[in-house]
Amino acid sequence: MKRILLWWAERALLVLVSVIVLFPIAWMFLTAFKSPRDAYSLSLNFTPTFNNFVTVFSHPWNLGDMVLNSVVVASVTVLIAVPCASLAAYSFSRFRVRGRKFLFFLVLSTQFIPAVVIVLPFFLMFRQLGLLDTRIALIIVNLAIVTPFVIWMIKGYIDAIPTDSEEAAMIDGASRLRVIWDIVLPVAAPGILTSAIFCFILTWNEFLFSLILTRRDAVTLPVGLVNFRTERGDLWELMSAAGVMITVPIFIMALLIQKHFTRGMTAGAVK
Amino acid sequence: MAEVRLVDVEKRYGGFLALPKQSLTIEEGEFLVLLGPSGCGKTTTMRMIAGLEEITSGDILIGGERVNDKPPKDRDIAMVFQNYGLYPHMTVQQNIAYPLKLRGVDRKAREARVRETAEKVELGALLHRRPSELSGGQRQRVALARAIVRTPKIFLMDEPLSNLDAKLRVSMRAELKHLHHELGVTTVYVTHDQMEAMTLASRVAVMREGRIVQLDTPKKIYSEPADLFVAGFIGSPSMNLVEGHITGGRFEAPGVSIPVAAAERGDVVLGIRPEDLELTTAEAPPIRGKLYALELTGEATLVTLREGATSICARGPAEFEAEIDAACALAPRPGARIHLFDKTTGQRIAA
Ligand SMILES: Nc1ncnc2c1ncn2[C@@H]1O[C@H](COP(=O)(O)OP(=O)(O)OP(=O)(O)O)[C@@H](O)[C@H]1O
Ligand SMILES: [Mg+2]
């Protein structure tokens, strides 16, 4: 009896939390398809329109440029961070070097520094280099933020792979790099892919640095949202449409992660 | 093919002394079996030869060349791991082919060779499975096939047949014996199966707590164990060991009085194998006691007697039958080997 009650309580709580979390997102999706007239109405009875999406992609909003900026910054960050982090993670996981633990702690400790503390030094640095309002600046900053985290994540996956197969490969005649390429990467692939998507999401959503370091040319989607707060008021329907543009790729990726998250590849390596 | 030499090799794990300083030479083309209780350092010895484990001090030479700083891939070794170390993301076919692939053997030759090897270990039908879809014994045979798919300088095999059923084990054993005869590759082999050790080995190294206590031909190890440990470890059922003393040319212990050719002394352990004893009806038998247990093994019956603290097992005829607790008598067979050991040092006393 008590167990059945608990079961129901658990379900009820899950539903409640889901509603609280999902409601604003659902509302945003609805608003994105409303005409300005309906935007403030609470009624669900409205004629859906694609006009908002057409508007945000045309002058003066030019959301297309921001989408491009975001895609370029996030993709390049992932393409650089994940390979580097994979090698670093492998080294941290497998090589018994003096001071390895301390070094790893140093790498991780960068994550404990609040972004607002380092945003000003970055700003001054990039001004000096003439890199303000460029994608390169954003990529560099995002690499600095994301790489330690990705190293930590991938190290977790590599730690979980038994070393037996690697040793077997070395005896079979493989060099260390060959072992990584032939054995470690394929076996850790689901984990690395998950980390890559995570890295993409972090970069995609990054707000503070983009806000401070860009003005016109390199503005990314999250910062672009701010444009919809005009002196004529907040344009909710446009902001929502832009919000949908930001959210949908993340949704798709989260679904992808979920599929890979639960799949283990190491089964059968040892007895 | 190459000779392997361990010179003054020592291995520590942190503070733990796994292998004390010792030397060992494995002759070219030899089949050396490492035998010893769990945790005595057999796997560690192999991993050091393979280059997977750094040695704390000493030198390892393969074919006369010092290989201390050579990575495993350059030592030209094939190894069967105790826990297989298969590649989980590759099929059986790819697993077995991997050493050939790394050596640039072209696809056609590779496939032919893999097929041939897979047949040898009776895996021909499973080439497209992944390791996770195989049974323990099948995985072990993949590990074996991956090692024997090419001809290296040295084979290292860490209990390669431990997970196979009795029948497959016998046929794989014959396969390995034939392979060694055919290729003559220097082989180091770990097993807990004495039958395997006896049938395969050119020499056996018996290890205890990291130390090699006896290194000799299987025959010598069996017939002249160097000390009490080897005497008790080799042979199944194991050798009877009875504590007692020697007076007037006879070994005396409760229920036991056997003539021996040794000087008078106390604190002696007499060893005699069950197959060297037979049931007797003589007037004054050398060994007397009450029947404690009867175990039929198929072709023989193991007869265990007790007298006080002494317990002695003999191999009797399969048709022998008697009541438990009945009085029984045993005598050494003609030509039986009687071993004497010093009780305190455990060393063999030369007859
Ligand atoms: N990485 C390690 N760190 C610390 N101690 C170790 C390590 N590897 C092995 N040992 C110790 O070294 C000793 C020898 O181990 P080894 O694996 O060589 O035994 P083994 O003879 O192969 O035993 P088994 O028959 O059970 O396989 C053991 O006491 C073990 O606890
Ligand atoms: Mg072992």
By CB neighbour count within 10 A (0-12 exposed, 13-18 middle, 19+ buried), where does B29 fall?
A: middle
pLDDT at A264 over 80: no
CA distance B135 to B146: 17
Task: Write down the pLDDT at residue A259.
Answer: 67
Q: Is B34 left (phi over 0), alpha (psi -120 to 50) or beta?
A: beta
- B43 C-alpha to ligand 1 centroid (Å): 7
Instruction: Place A269 in a pLDDT band, splitting at 50, 70 and 90.
Output: very low
Task: Write down the pLDDT at residue A268.
Answer: 37
CA distance B140 to B117: 14
Ligand closest to the CA atom of residue B11: 1
CA distance B111 to B237: 45
Check whether residue B267 and residue B299 sit in a common domain.
Answer: yes
What is A61-267's CATH number?
A: 1.10.3720.10
Q: Mind spelling out the 3-state secondary structure of B173-239?
A: HHHHHHHHHHHCCEEEEECCCHHHHHHHCCEEEEEECCEEEEEECHHHHHHCCCEHHHHHHCCCCCC
Check whether residue B133 and residue B13 sit in a common domain.
Answer: yes
Helices (H), chain B: 42-50, 92-102, 107-120, 136-148, 166-183, 194-200, 218-223, 228-233
Residues of A in contact with B149 (CB under 8 A): none
- B349 C-alpha to ligand 2 centroid (Å): 32
Q: What is the mean pLDDT of chain A?
A: 88
Q: What is the mean pLDDT of residues B107-127?
A: 94
Check whether residue B48 and residue B123 sit in a common domain.
Answer: yes
Preceding amide of B237 cis, omega within 30: yes
In this structure, the strands spanning B327-332 and B57-62 are unpaired
Residues of B in contact with A271 (CB under 8 A): 83-84, 136, 139, 163
Task: Write down the pLDDT at residue B265.
Answer: 86
Task: Write down the pLDDT at residue B351.
Answer: 59
Question: Are the C-beta atoms of residues B336 and B277 closer than 8 Å to each other?
Answer: yes
Q: Check which CATH number belongs to the domain holding B94 and give it.
A: 3.40.50.300
Task: Write down the pLDDT at residue A262.
Answer: 52
Task: Write down the pLDDT at residue B214.
Answer: 95
Distance from CA of A178 to the nearest CA of B (A): 9
Task: Write down the pLDDT at residue A35.
Answer: 85
For chains A and B, what is the number of CB pairs under 8 angstroms? 85
**Percent of chain B clearing pLDDT 70 (strictly above):** 99
Cα B52 to its chain centre, rounded Å, is 23
Tens of pLDDT along B81-115?
A: 999 999 999 999 999 999 999 999 999 999 999 99
**B330 beta partners:** B279, B287
- A96 C-alpha to ligand 2 centroid (Å): 23
Check whether residue B180 and residue B269 sit in a common domain.
Answer: no
φ, ψ at B278 (rounded to 5°): -140, 160
Question: Are the C-beta atoms of residues B314 and B278 closer than 8 Å to each other?
Answer: yes
Does the residue B33 lie in any domain? yes
Check whether residue B128 and residue B151 sit in a common domain.
Answer: yes
Task: Write down the pLDDT at residue B225.
Answer: 94
Task: Write down the pLDDT at residue B131.
Answer: 94
- Contact assignment for B88 to A267 by CB distance below 8 Å: yes
Q: What is the mean pLDDT of residues B243-264?
A: 89
Q: State which H helix or E strand residue B273 sits in.
A: none
Which residues have CB under 6 Å of ligand 1? Answer: B 13, 16, 18, 36, 38-44, 82
Nearest Cα to Cα of residue B256 among B283, B277, B281, B285: B285
Distance from CA of B333 to the nearest CA of A (A): 46
Check whether residue B255 and residue B320 sit in a common domain.
Answer: yes
Question: Are the C-beta atoms of residues A82 and A153 closer than 8 Å to each other?
Answer: no
Does the residue B111 lie in any domain? yes
**Percent of chain B clearing pLDDT 90 (strictly above):** 80
Helices (H), chain A: 2-32, 51-57, 63-94, 100-109, 115-129, 135-159, 164-172, 176-179, 185-205, 208-213, 221-224, 236-261
Check whether residue B129 and residue B28 sit in a common domain.
Answer: yes
Nearest Cα to Cα of residue B18 among B37, B48, B41, B49: B41
Check whether residue B120 and residue B221 sit in a common domain.
Answer: yes
CA distance B217 to B33: 10
Check whether residue B28 and residue B143 sit in a common domain.
Answer: yes
Residues of A in contact with B163 (CB under 8 A): 271
Residues of B in contact with A171 (CB under 8 A): 50, 52, 72-73, 75, 77-79
Distance from CA of A84 to the nearest CA of B (A): 23
Question: Are the C-beta atoms of residues A241 and A26 closer than 8 Å to each other?
Answer: no
- Contact assignment for A178 to B102 by CB distance below 8 Å: yes
Residue range(s) defining the domain that contains residue B51: 4-232
- Residue ranges per domain, chain A? 61-267
Q: Check which CATH number belongs to the domain holding B298 and give it.
A: 2.40.50.140
Tens of pLDDT along A27-75?
A: 999 898 988 888 787 777 788 888 888 888 888 888 889 999 999 999 9
Check whether residue B109 and residue B129 sit in a common domain.
Answer: yes
By CB neighbour count within 10 A (0-12 exposed, 13-18 middle, 19+ buried), where does B344 fall?
A: exposed
Does the residue B349 lie in any domain? no
Is A97 an interface residue toward B (CB < 8 Å)? Answer: no
> Three-state SS for B121?
coil
A22-26 long-range contacts, Cβ below 8 Å, gap at least 24? A25/A247
Tens of pLDDT along A138-187?
A: 999 999 999 999 999 999 999 988 899 999 999 999 999 999 999 999 99
Task: Write down the pLDDT at residue A46.
Answer: 82
Does the residue B351 lie in any domain? no
Distance from CA of B34 to the nearest CA of A (A): 20
CA distance A229 to A242: 13
Is A193 an interface residue toward B (CB < 8 Å)? Answer: no
**Most A-contacting residue of B13, B70, B87 (CB-CB within 10 A), to test interface:** B87
Q: What is the mean pLDDT of residues B340-349?
A: 92
Is A96 an interface residue toward B (CB < 8 Å)? Answer: no
* Mutation pick for ligand 1 pocket among B9, B10, B16, B45 (CB with most ligand atoms within 8 Å): B16
Instruction: Place A229 in a pLDDT band, splitting at 50, 70 and 90.
Output: confident
What single string gives the DSSP state of each residue in A26-86?
Answer: HHHHHHHTS-TTTTT---S-----SHHHHHHHSTTT-HHHHHHHHHHHHHHHHHHHHHHHH
Does the residue B190 lie in any domain? yes
Tens of pLDDT along B175-231?
A: 999 999 999 999 999 999 888 999 999 999 999 999 999 999 999 999 999 999 999
Last residue of a domain, one of B170, B202, B232: B232
Q: Which residue of B has its CA nearest to A172?
A: B99
Nearest Cα to Cα of residue A75 among A249, A264, A228: A249
Interface ipTM > 0.90: no
Check whether residue B77 and residue B167 sit in a common domain.
Answer: yes
CA distance A127 to A145: 19
Q: Which residue of A has its CA nearest to B97?
A: A172
Instruction: Place B41 in a pLDDT band, splitting at 50, 70 and 90.
Output: very high
Among B73, B88, B146, select the one facing A170 at the smallest CB separation: B73
Among A172, A265, A267, select the one facing B98 at the smallest CB separation: A172
Does the residue B244 lie in any domain? yes
pLDDT at B130 over 70: yes
Q: How many CB atoms lie within 10 A of CB A43?
A: 7
Question: Are the C-beta atoms of residues A244 and B112 closer than 8 Å to each other?
Answer: no
Is A174 an interface residue toward B (CB < 8 Å)? Answer: yes
Does the residue B30 lie in any domain? yes
Last residue of a domain, one of B232, B255, B278: B232
Residue nearest to atom 12 of ligand 1 (CA): B18
Residues 256-315 of B with CB under 8 A from A: none
What is the number of residues in chain B? Answer: 351
CA distance B125 to A82: 40
Q: How many domains does chain B have?
A: 2
Check whether residue B168 and residue B202 sit in a common domain.
Answer: yes
> Three-state SS for B280?
coil
Distance from CA of A18 to the nearest CA of B (A): 37
CA distance B127 to B146: 12
Last residue of a domain, one of B182, B217, B232: B232
CA distance B180 to B196: 14
Is B103 an interface residue toward A (CB < 8 Å)? Answer: yes
Q: What is the mean pLDDT of chain B?
A: 92
- Contact assignment for B86 to A269 by CB distance below 8 Å: yes
- Contact assignment for A170 to B146 by CB distance below 8 Å: no
User: Which range, of A98-102, A150-154, A230-234, B215-219, averages the lowest pLDDT?
Assistant: A230-234
Does the residue B128 lie in any domain? yes
Task: Write down the pLDDT at residue A260.
Answer: 63
Tens of pLDDT along B269-299?
A: 999 999 999 998 888 889 999 999 999 988 8
Task: Write down the pLDDT at residue A102.
Answer: 93
Task: Write down the pLDDT at residue B287.
Answer: 92
Structure tokens at B127: 């080439």
Task: Write down the pLDDT at residue A271.
Answer: 38
